[in-house]
Amino acid sequence: MRIFLDANILVSVLNKEYPVFSYSARILSVATSTRFQVFTSPICLAIAFYFAEKKHRATSAKQKIEILCKHIGIAESTQSSVRKTLLNPAVKDFEDGLEYYAAIEKKCMCIITEDISDFYFSEIEVLNSQQFFEKYMNTVK
């Protein structure tokens, strides 16, 4: 199963933000499993870096992002995804549209975010980290 992680999931892991960290860290740990392929976008990484830098300094934030990038795939924002975002009248937040279409182009089946309402226009499943864990990971051994 291909999954897409929104920036707030990455931030919760990098900054150990509870209570989300309890679920988001476990979700991120499946990046090494054969059952899941985990993706995020450059925009999400930039947002995560910004918040990690505020808490830990630039050098530490950069190291954390580098480690993260070794384990997850990057879903790019292509010209096609930009055009689809601009042409979709349901998309009100440009950033969320770019993330959504990056996930779609990578054939992700699910977006994991703590702001589910941001993806009200999504045609793929959108879950928060706890919901994803309970639905898909309780069966992972």
How many domains are there within the chain?
1
Yes or no: say if 74 and 10 are a contact pair by the CB < 8 Å rule.
no
User: What pLDDT is stored for residue 137 in this prediction?
Assistant: 87
Give SS3 for 138. coil
CB 102 within 8 A of CB 87: no
Q: What is the pTM of this model?
A: 0.93
Task: Determine the residue type at 9.
Answer: I
Kindly report the CATH number assigned to the domain that includes residue 114.
Answer: 3.40.50.1010
Q: What is the pLDDT of residue 69?
A: 92
**Domain membership of residue 72 as a residue range:** 2-137
pLDDT along the chain (141 residues), means of 10: 97 94 92 92 96 91 93 94 97 97 97 97 97 84 46
pLDDT of residue 139: 64
